[in-house]
Chains A and B, each alone.
Chain A
Amino acid sequence: MIEKELAEISEENLIPAWGMLELTHRCNTKCSHCYVVRQKKTELSTREVKDVLDQLAEAGNLFLAFTGGEPFLRKDIYEILEYAVKKRFAVTVLTNATLLDTAAVKKLKKIGIHELSTSLYSLKAEVHDGVTRVRGSFLKVMRALKELKKAGISVKVKCPLLTVNYSEKKALTDFAKSNGFKILFDPTIAPKNDGNVENTGQKIEGEILAGVIKQHCAGWQYSTKFPERNVICSAGKNFIAINPYGDVLPCLQIPHTAGNIREKSLKEIWLNSPMLNKMRGMKLSDLKECVNCENIRYCNRCPGLALLESGSLYKKSGSACEMAAIRSGHCNG
């Protein structure tokens, strides 16, 4: 209820209450479905990251997720997290957890992050390591989860559903529940940020996807009050993203830079960027391929995914169309 109110107030007033900050594109795993395209640019320094945090706090950002790449590859990660907690952000860290040993978890506990989110692809070492393409990564994640539980740090397990792990959904749910972790499954695999689809080979489709979506019909909600909210998200309205090189983006899945914080202030970029203003002006009627679609009330189209799949923020997203068609057939009772 309060989240909804904050979402509406921040959207109306263009306050980036939610945000993601990519600290690095470097990673020590090679996950088969990863969307990140590493660029040959210089990462923000510690001082620059702290300056970004100051500006984000000033802009009204409250929920901030640090992600990567693998954020724990940065030597200054604890200094950055400590600074963010001091600045009163609700801090989440998205990590593959392979670098979190007892000492690292102790530091996180002391800093007081709000949540740690980690990927776990399977309860079978060979499947998890097959996705990360790093032998031994499963054992390291399990070690980290044990330490995090012991430390009482709130954990969210994130699991993209792939052809190699969809059958483990129940087992993973039970594992999370029994350890007091939250768990989030997602069958959507976004192409790489340059539109390359080589990472989508393990995406579930057809009957398998239908089986997964059918299980979630009860949670499906369609806003009749704001129908555009179902197919046009809050990116650039109350959500901001910043990549490791200082580019301000409406979302990590929309690799169109609104400006760079090394050149302009965050406030100036956020309020005056023509690209962000274009995003903010997007209306349902602009989506010519979607506006009259019979499945629109079952659709949760993501503009970023549409961009990566079709090359345009305004065109249809094949993935969203497939899911909407399944919901229409199975979730309409």
Chain B
Amino acid sequence: MGYKIEKGAAGREINGKYYIVLPKEMKLIKLNNSGSLIFDLLCKNTKETAIVKALSEKYEITAKEAAKDLAAFIKELKKAKIAR
């Protein structure tokens, strides 16, 4: 299954962190380090398995833990209408 960042979600990596502006409004949020990594990969249309691998390698966690973290983060992004 693939996830996509919504077209109208604005975002920029500034000083190592991603700042996101929610679609259709001017609300600004900041992502933490792992969130920034996931957002960056999602923007590049990276597949879920590759994101899990990247998380697992960067944070030295198991693939199962990485998949769980990714799912939780995606749920938040969907709630904020940033991802679909």
**Complex: chain B residue closest to A84, CB-CB:** B10
Place the interface of chain B in its size category: 20 to 34
State which of A1-9, A120-128, A255-263 sits at the interface with chain B.
Answer: A1-9
Cβ-defined contact, A114 with B12, below 8 A: no
Distance A60 CA – B13 CA, assembled complex (angstroms): 7
Cβ-defined contact, A9 with B21, below 8 A: no
Cβ-defined contact, B30 with A88, below 8 A: no
Cβ-defined contact, B25 with A154, below 8 A: yes
Counting chain A CB atoms within 10 Å of each CB, the highest count among B8, B10, B29, B30 belongs to B10
**A89 on the B face (CB < 8 A):** yes
Interface string of B25-43 (1 = CB under 8 A from A): 1101110000000000001
Cβ-defined contact, B8 with A85, below 8 A: yes
A83 to chain B, nearest CB (A): 12
Contacts of A62 in B (CB 8 A): 10-12, 14, 19, 21
Q: A2-B29, A6-B19, A88-B43 are in contact. Are A112 and B14 (CB under 8 A)?
A: no
Interface contact tally, CB-CB below 8 A: 68
Contacts of A63 in B (CB 8 A): 21
**A234 on the B face (CB < 8 A):** no
Contacts of A154 in B (CB 8 A): 24-26
Distance A140 CA – B42 CA, assembled complex (angstroms): 41
**A281 on the B face (CB < 8 A):** no
**Complex: chain A residue closest to B24, CB-CB:** A154
With A10-B14, A92-B26, A112-B23 given, name 11 new contacts (CB 8 A).
A2-B28, A6-B28, A15-B15, A17-B19, A60-B13, A62-B10, A63-B21, A90-B26, A114-B23, A114-B26, A152-B24
Q: What 3 pairs across the A-B complex have the smallest Cβ distances?
A: A112-B8, A90-B10, A90-B21
